[in-house]
Chains A and B, each alone.
Chain A
Amino acid sequence: MRTLKFLLRKEFKQIFRDKGLLPLIFIMPMIQLLVMPLAANFDVKNVNVAIVDHDHSTYTQQLVNKIGASGYFRIANYSDSYKEALHLVEHEKADIILEIPQNFERNLIRENNQKVFLAADAINGVKGSIGSAYLTTVLTDFNSDVRLKWVQPQRLGAVSTIGIDYSNWFNPLMDYHKFMVPAILALLVTMVGGFVAALNIVREKEIGTIEQINVTPIKKWEFILGKMIPFWLIGIFDFTLGLLIARFVYGIIPVGSIATLYLFVSVYMIALLGFGLLVSTYSSNQLQAMFVAFFFMMIFILMSGLFSPVENMPQWAKVISNLTPVTHFVEVMRMIVLKGSTFANIKKQFFIEIIFAVVLNSWAIWNYRKTS
C-alpha cells in the first residue's frame, strides 16, 4: 500500500507537469461540450426550393406563399422552366424543385384531382429526404384547405378530419441540446479515459522507464492500480465539469438521481480504463496506441447511438453496437438525465458495464503478464 502511495504521488506530479496533457484533460472537454451540441443539430432549416410554375393562378400563388411562410423553406427561384430550376440544383443553389403543371387550378376544381412534381437533390440525403417530407406536409395541408373550401358548402358536416396534437415526453420542446449534451458528455469521458490512459502507459514503455520499474520489487497490481486510479479520478472530474456546463450553459438538470449517475460512471470508467490498458499492452509506442485507440473511438462514436439511433441499424451493426461499452453509457446518460430513470431501470446496462470491466481488465492483465 505504501508503494501505491508513492506511485500515485509520482503519477500526479507527472500529469500536472505535462504541458501537452493538461489542456487535453481539462480544456478540450469544455470546448467540445460548448461547441459540439451547437453544431450537431439535425433540425433541417433553410431548404432552398425552386418553384417551376406553369399555371400562374391564384392557387399557385397561395401555395407558394404557404411554402414560403412555413419557416423551413426559402424560395430560391420562381420560374416556368424546369431546365432553369435543374440548373440551380446543379449549382447547389436549390435543394428541391416543385413543378406545378399547367391548368393546376382549373383541374383541381373541375376534376378534384391534380398532381405536382417534386424533385429533391439527394447528395445531402438528410436535407433531401427531410426537406421533401416537410414539403409534402405543406402540400397536404394546402390540399385539405382547398378541400374544406370547396367541399364544405355542398355537403356540410360530411367531412371528418383527424386533428393531431403532439405531446413530447421527457423533452417537451424537442430541444436538440437536451438530447445531445448528455451523450456528448458520455463521449468526452470516454475519450479522456480511454485515450489518455492508453497513451500514458505506453509512454512508460516507449521511454523505457518500465524496464527500470520492472527490476524493482514493485508488484504488477500496484503498478496497474497506480496508473488507473489517477485517470479514474480525472474521468470523474471531467464528468463533473461536464455536468456543471450542462447545468449552467444548457440548463440541463438531471431528472434522475445524481448518485445513480456517478455510480454508473464509476463502473464505466473502470471498464474504459481496462480498454486503455488493453490497447497499451498491445502497442509498443505512443503512435501505435494512438491509432489503435483512434480506430476504436471512431467505432464507439459512430455506433454508440450518439448521432444515429441504434434501432435504425441493421442487425449486425446492432450486435457491434451492443458490444461497445459506450453505447450503454450513452443510453443510460439519456435515460437518467432526461427521463429520470432509477437504478432499477438501468440495472441491465449496469451489469453489462460490470461485465465489460471484468473482461477488459482481465484480458489486459493477462496480456500484460504474458509480455513481460
Chain B
Amino acid sequence: MSAIKIEHITKTYDKGNVTALNDISLEVAKGELFGLIGPDGAGKSSLFRILTTLLIADKGTATVDGFDVVKDYKQIRGCVGYMPGKFSLYQDLTVEENLTFFASLFGTSISENYDLIKDIYVQIEPFKTRRAGKLSGGMKQKLALCCALIHKPTVLFLDEPTTGVDAVSRKEFWEMLKRLKEQQITIMVSTPYMDEANLCERIALIQNGELLSVDTPEKIVASYPQQLYAVKADNMHKILNDVRFYENLQSVYAFGEYLHTTFKNDEAQIESKLTAYLQQKNNSGIEIKKIEPTIEDSFIRLMTEASLIKQH
C-alpha cells in the first residue's frame, strides 16, 4: 500500500478563475523521500494543504496512510506531521514550551518520543529556554521539525523547509531527513531549489498546477533527449546575444559561468561551426564542450516545453 495516493486532484481559487492544481495524480510509496519541485506559485502548498486536511479539493480523491483526506480527516491529523512553509509556532513561547505543548496536544510527551527527535533536538536544546521568536532561521526550522515529529508521525509533510535558510543549515537539514527516512517515515518535501532534487529518491516537477514529470532524479536526467553543450567566452553578455541568433540553435540559457545550449540537428562538426560563427562575430576566448545534463537542465527543458505547449 502506498503512503500517499493522489487521484485527479483539482483545486481552483477565486470561483474557478485561478487554477492551483489541475488533475494531479501521484503515488508515494511507504518510507520514500519524495520531492515536489516547482517555482513559487506552482501549487505545491495547495497540494500540501489538501493532503494535511486543511483544504478541500474541488475534484478528485486523495489518501494518506490509507485514510481519505476528507472522510477520515481525524485519523490523518493524528498520524501526519506537517511543517508549513511559514514558521507557525508560538513565537512568545520558549523552545521547550512549544515542544511540550504540541506533544501534549497529541497526547504524548517529549520523553516518550525522544529517540526520534534526539538528533535534531540536541542542537537546539542549549536554547530551550529561549523564546521561539528569538531563534535564528535555521534553529526555527529545527524546532518546527521537532514539533512536527514529536508524535511519531507515519507521514511527514515539509512545505519548503529550506526556504530562507543558509546553505550550511540546508545541507544539515537534508541529512536529518535522510536519517528520518531510516526510521521508516514517509517524507514528502517541497522546494523551489532544483539542486535539492538530487537528494530525493523520487521527484515530481510541478508547474502552474500541473505535473510535468514524476521519476527518480537519475531517470529524469537520463531522459534528456539531446547533446548539451557548454559555451564560454570572455564577454558573456555579447556571446549570449550572438548565440541567440545562431541559425541551428534550439535553446540557450546562462548556467553558472557557461551558457548551456542545444541544437536543432546534432551534426558532427557543430563545435567547429559554432566557433567559426562566433569568431566572425568578434568573440574572443571561445570555449565549447560537450557536457552531461544535470537535473536542472532537465527541469529547464521540461518547463520551457510545457510553457511552449501552453502558448500554442
- Residues 194-220 of A contacting B (Cβ, < 8 Å): 207-218
B293 interfacial contact with A, CB 8 Å: no
**How distant is B225 from chain A, measured CB to nearest CB, in Å?**
41
Whether A372 contacts B54 by the Cβ 8 Å rule is yes
Whether B88 contacts A207 by the Cβ 8 Å rule is yes
Partner of A10, one of B80, B93, B106: B93
Chain B positions 43 through 73: 1 when the CB is less than 8 Å from some CB of chain A, otherwise 0: 0000000001110000000000000000000
A6 interfacial contact with B, CB 8 Å: yes
**Complex CA–CA separation, A216 to B78 (angstroms):** 6
A14 interfacial contact with B, CB 8 Å: yes
Whether B105 contacts A217 by the Cβ 8 Å rule is yes
Whether B84 contacts A208 by the Cβ 8 Å rule is yes
| Residues of B in contact with A, size category | 20 to 34
Partner of A207, one of B52, B91, B106: B91
Partner of B74, one of A3, A13, A209, A217: A217
Give the number of residues in A that approach B within 8 Å (Cβ atoms): 21
Residue from A6, A208, A217, A372 having most chain B Cβ neighbours under 10 A: A217
Whether A215 contacts B97 by the Cβ 8 Å rule is no
Partner of B92, one of A18, A217, A372: A18
B90 interfacial contact with A, CB 8 Å: yes
Partner of A13, one of B82, B87, B89, B97: B97
Whether B106 contacts A217 by the Cβ 8 Å rule is yes
Whether B90 contacts A209 by the Cβ 8 Å rule is yes
**Complex CA–CA separation, A13 to B93 (angstroms):** 8
Partner of B87, one of A2, A208, A213: A208
**Complex CA–CA separation, A140 to B24 (angstroms):** 90
B121 interfacial contact with A, CB 8 Å: no
- Residues 88-120 of B contacting A (Cβ, < 8 Å): 88-93, 97, 101-102, 104-107
Residues on the B chain within 8 Å of A115, using CB: none
Whether A6 contacts B104 by the Cβ 8 Å rule is yes
Whether B88 contacts A209 by the Cβ 8 Å rule is yes
Residues on the B chain within 8 Å of A372, using CB: 54
Q: What are 25 inter-chain pairs, A to B, with CB distance below 8 A?
A: A3-B107, A6-B101, A10-B93, A13-B92, A13-B93, A13-B97, A207-B91, A208-B86, A208-B88, A209-B89, A210-B88, A211-B84, A212-B84, A212-B89, A212-B102, A212-B147, A213-B105, A215-B52, A215-B77, A216-B106, A217-B74, A217-B105, A217-B107, A218-B105, A372-B54
A14-B92, A218-B105 are known; give 14 further A-B pairs, CB within 8 A: A2-B104, A2-B107, A3-B104, A3-B107, A6-B101, A10-B97, A208-B86, A212-B82, A212-B89, A213-B105, A215-B53, A215-B77, A217-B77, A217-B78
